[in-house]
Homo-oligomer: A and B are copies of this chain.
Amino acid sequence: MAETEKNFNIELEELAGKVPEYISERRYSDLKKILVEMNPADIGDLMEELPRENLPLVYRILPKELASEVFVYIDSDTQELLISTFSDNELKEVIDDLYIDDTVDIIEEMPASVVKRILKHADPEMRIEINKILKYPKDSAGSVMTTEFVDLKKDLTVEDAFLRIRRTAVDKETIYTCYVKDENRHLIGLVTVKDLLLADYQEKISDIMETNIIYVNTTDDQEYVANMFTKYDFTTIPVVDNENRLVGIVTFDDAMDVLQDETTEDIEKMAAISPTDKPYSKMSAFELWKKRIPWLLLLMISATFTGMIISSFEEALASFVVLTSFIPMLMDTGGNSGSQASVTIIRSISLGDIEFKNMPKVIWKEIRVAALCGVTLAAANFVKLLTIDRILLGNSDITVSVALVVCLTLILTVLCAKIIGCTLPMIAKKIGFDPAVMASPFITTIVDAVSLVVYFRIATIFLHIGD
């Protein structure tokens, strides 16, 4: 039984350390006894910790049904390794035991030769279903759905429905929501097993079914589908084609995976990394470099514009070198203010809290926040400059005029940063880009340039540079 997270991981590691011993001593049945008590997901974790040469043996020790369950939980490299050790018969057995959506998930990660081999050994009916799902665009509802669900006819009685569920349940991933189709395969209703349990055996499905059904289309984006789950607390959602025919269902566990993946993708984009499906621990240094370098290059080149702004004010800087020392503080504060706004807006967009039409409201709110933040920061900074820096540290270059220039710049920078930070993600969303790209690094680069121009303009005016 599971202990706390820590103990549990330690147990898994200990076990992983002992498995090679069990194997070299041929204590297979002892090992089997331990494994069959474990959850398939944990056996999957265990297998990732094992030396690769032990994997096929450990996998074969598992009882057939458990083996197929475990197969879903191991990473695609290990799956590929195992498939390469399977005989055709073994492969067929595993595939027969898998749910169709899991098989499709596995296929999507395999090289073409393995895909061919899997499809060849799937039974014809399953092959047709797999191909159906494979033809939907990546990240669409169709591509994450399963075609294995319980469908009922509206004229059945509750008793008939139970018989049908009992007969077909073994092969279905979920049976608790049954969908009712008419003769043209249009979705006309749903009943839950709870409804059925609470109903009289002789009642008709048409009398107890729910007819206001929320469904998605095969081409809807998977993130939209996943958000339906969080909004409505569904365990499954039906998927219909363009003719409103029921073609499959998406289950909550796949929706949760989608949510996690999409969030990781957003976070990566916000940090200027090209998103990937692979976990960090599986990525090579070269792969990580490929995901990070395009953005670093792009942002480095953008930052040279900021450098050009500084160059063009070289004269001012030469006569007031003290101004240079405030550049990092102004740039960082601008960047931080901008990312606070952009990241808040990006997250609110993806949670459905705000939309493009809210833009005027959002900008007005950010202006007020910026005013509050800017004045607070400027006041704190003004006091600090004239007490700590000027009096305590004796930096006589910092005059009241210099302090005013810095603090005025601070207010204007925060204002620009917040406005840029909140508008860009919304505009990106509106014109069909991913708002997450408009996060910190991008905004920082723009805000840097803006803040420097503001800084030098104000300095030129207040300090009478060039007079």
A224 at the interface (CB under 8 A from B): yes
Chain B residues with CB below 8 A from A368, complex form: 285
- List the B residue with the shortest CB-CB distance to A237: B2
Q: Which of B38, B39, B307, B380 contacts A329 (CB 8 A)?
A: B307
Decide: A448 and B289 in contact? CB cutoff 8 A: no
A435 at the interface (CB under 8 A from B): no
Given A37-B212, A194-B175, do A235 and B232 touch, yes or no (CB 8 Å)?
no
Decide: B440 and A358 in contact? CB cutoff 8 A: no
A340 at the interface (CB under 8 A from B): yes
Decide: B272 and A336 in contact? CB cutoff 8 A: yes
Chain B residues with CB below 8 A from A304, complex form: 329, 384
A165 at the interface (CB under 8 A from B): yes
Chain B residues with CB below 8 A from A325, complex form: 307-308, 310-311, 314
A306 at the interface (CB under 8 A from B): yes
Query: A250 to B296, alpha carbons, bound, how many Å?
Result: 43
Decide: A232 and B281 in contact? CB cutoff 8 A: no
Kindly specify which of A84-92, A116-124, A128-136, A213-221 makes contact with the partner chain.
A213-221
**Interface 0/1 of A355-397, CB less than 8 Å to B:** 1001000100100110011001100110010000000000100
Query: A266 to B233, alpha carbons, bound, how many Å?
Result: 23
**Interface 0/1 of A270-304, CB less than 8 Å to B:** 11110000011100011011001101110111011
A103 at the interface (CB under 8 A from B): no
User: In A307-335, which residues have CB < 8 Å from any B CB?
Assistant: 307-308, 310-311, 314, 317-318, 321-322, 324-329, 331-333, 335
Decide: A343 and B268 in contact? CB cutoff 8 A: yes
- List the B residue with the shortest CB-CB distance to A264: B347
Given A296-B336, A325-B307, A339-B440, do A286 and B372 touch, yes or no (CB 8 Å)?
yes
- List the B residue with the shortest CB-CB distance to A315: B321
A114 at the interface (CB under 8 A from B): no
Q: Which of B1, B273, B336 contacts A215 (CB 8 A)?
A: B1
Besides A273-B344, A280-B354, 13 other A-B contacts (C-beta < 8 A): A166-B198, A169-B198, A175-B197, A272-B340, A289-B376, A296-B333, A297-B377, A307-B327, A314-B321, A314-B324, A318-B321, A328-B331, A328-B452
What would be 10 A-B contacts, judged by CB atoms less than 8 Å apart?
A166-B197, A176-B194, A263-B263, A279-B348, A293-B377, A296-B376, A296-B414, A311-B325, A324-B327, A328-B331
Decide: A212 and B1 in contact? CB cutoff 8 A: yes
Query: Is the contact region of chain A dominated by helix, strand, or loop, or is it mixed?
Result: helix
Chain B residues with CB below 8 A from A465, complex form: none
Q: How many residues on A have C-beta within 8 angstroms of the other chain's C-beta atoms?
A: 122
Taking the closest CB of chain B, its distance from the CB of A161, in whole angstroms, is 11
User: In A32-69, which residues have CB < 8 Å from any B CB?
Assistant: 37-39, 41
Chain B residues with CB below 8 A from A321, complex form: 314, 317-318
A441 at the interface (CB under 8 A from B): yes
A458 at the interface (CB under 8 A from B): no
Decide: A373 and B303 in contact? CB cutoff 8 A: no
Which 4 A-B residue pairings sit nearest by Cβ, starting from the closest?
A285-B368, A271-B343, A306-B328, A233-B253
A95 at the interface (CB under 8 A from B): no
Query: A419 to B252, alpha carbons, bound, how many Å?
Result: 38
Query: A297 to B375, alpha carbons, bound, how many Å?
Result: 11
> Which of A292, A365, A445 gathers the greatest number of chain B CB atoms within 10 Å?
A292
Taking the closest CB of chain B, its distance from the CB of A175, in whole angstroms, is 6
Decide: A448 and B332 in contact? CB cutoff 8 A: yes
Chain B residues with CB below 8 A from A322, complex form: 311, 314
Query: A345 to B440, alpha carbons, bound, how many Å?
Result: 17
Query: A362 to B288, alpha carbons, bound, how many Å?
Result: 12
- List the B residue with the shortest CB-CB distance to A362: B280
Decide: A332 and B300 in contact? CB cutoff 8 A: yes
Taking the closest CB of chain B, its distance from the CB of A174, in whole angstroms, is 8
